[in-house]
Structure 1
Amino acid sequence: MRSRFSAFAVGDAAYLRETWDPATRPRRVDVDPATRWTHLEVLDRTGGGLLESTGTVRFRAHHDGGVVAEDSRFRRAGGRWLYVGPA
């Protein structure tokens, strides 16, 4: 989750696409260069441990125009965590 927030903050759409589950990934990932992401609050998580293959993260991502809040689902594939979508 933190690495994806950082990718939004620096405008790295390629990283966001690479870390998105292919089953739910959009054809294109656009990042608005005018949006200034300021900080991330991780509020809760479930799963996601060393021996687990799924997990969720509840977060608030703050930017200069407001806040994005979501409970996100992730799954591990090939040793890497992939964003699946909202929980």
Structure 2
Amino acid sequence: MEMTPRDSCPCGSGAGYGHCCRPYVVEDGVAPTAEALMRSRYTAYHQGNIDYLIATHHPTQRYPGQRAAILHSIAATSWLRLRVLATEAGQATDSSGVVEFVAYYADPKPGQVHERSRFTRQKGRWYYVDGDALPPLVPKRNDPCWCGSAKKYKACHGR
């Protein structure tokens, strides 16, 4: 189903898609911060927008077979939710930034990507450079489950 501008943005910002990631992912807008780019890249994974993912990956980090690798990842993964944990720099006047996030997925088993991603801004555009994989975050038993089910972790994925 195609998303409308009024739908909630998949990046979890709480804003409508039309005022959040759509201007970057669909309308050729420029993400103003490293976090905005990270959120829009998550949305692009969620929607299967391979062109946007490649275009926002720093040119020095692109590789042969990248399109096929992303296509395989998108076909095998159902993204559930994004949580931004921390940002360092990455504002409109900075030349670099770091965003730590956790992206939850079902593939078909539930899991997560926990990463500290590095971004650089060149000629007014932010690019994803690379990231360090971090250990998974495990909720406490009575915390809400990370999958978004509204159940406690112990009654959902903590069994």
1:84 paired residue number: 129
Amino acid at match of 1:24: Q
CA-based RMSD of the aligned residues comes to: 1.2
Q: Matched residue of 1:6: which SS?
A: helix
Name which of structure 1's ranges 22-31 and 39-48 shifts more when overlaid on structure 2.
22-31
1:45 paired residue number: 87
Higher RCO structure, 1 or 2 (CA under 8 Å, sep 6+) = 1
Amino acid at match of 1:25: R
Bigger CA radius of gyration: 2
What is the TM-score of this pair, normalised by structure 1?
A: 0.92
1:50 and 1:15 mapped to 2: Cα distance?
Answer: 20
1:13 and 1:54 mapped to 2: Cα distance?
Answer: 24
1:13 and 1:21 mapped to 2: Cα distance?
Answer: 14
What is the TM-score of this pair, normalised by structure 2?
A: 0.52
Deviations 1:27-83 (A, max 9, x none): 223232231101110000101112101000000011113101100000011211100
Structure 1 unaligned residues grouped into runs of 5+: none
Identity of aligned residues (%): 40
Name which of structure 1's ranges 21-30 and 2-11 shifts more when overlaid on structure 2.
21-30
1:7 paired residue number: 44
2:127 and 2:87 mapped to 1: Cα distance?
Answer: 15
Structure 2 unaligned residues grouped into runs of 5+: 1-37, 133-159
Of Structure 1 and Structure 2, which has the larger fraction of its residues in strand? 1
Matched, 1:75 2:120: yes
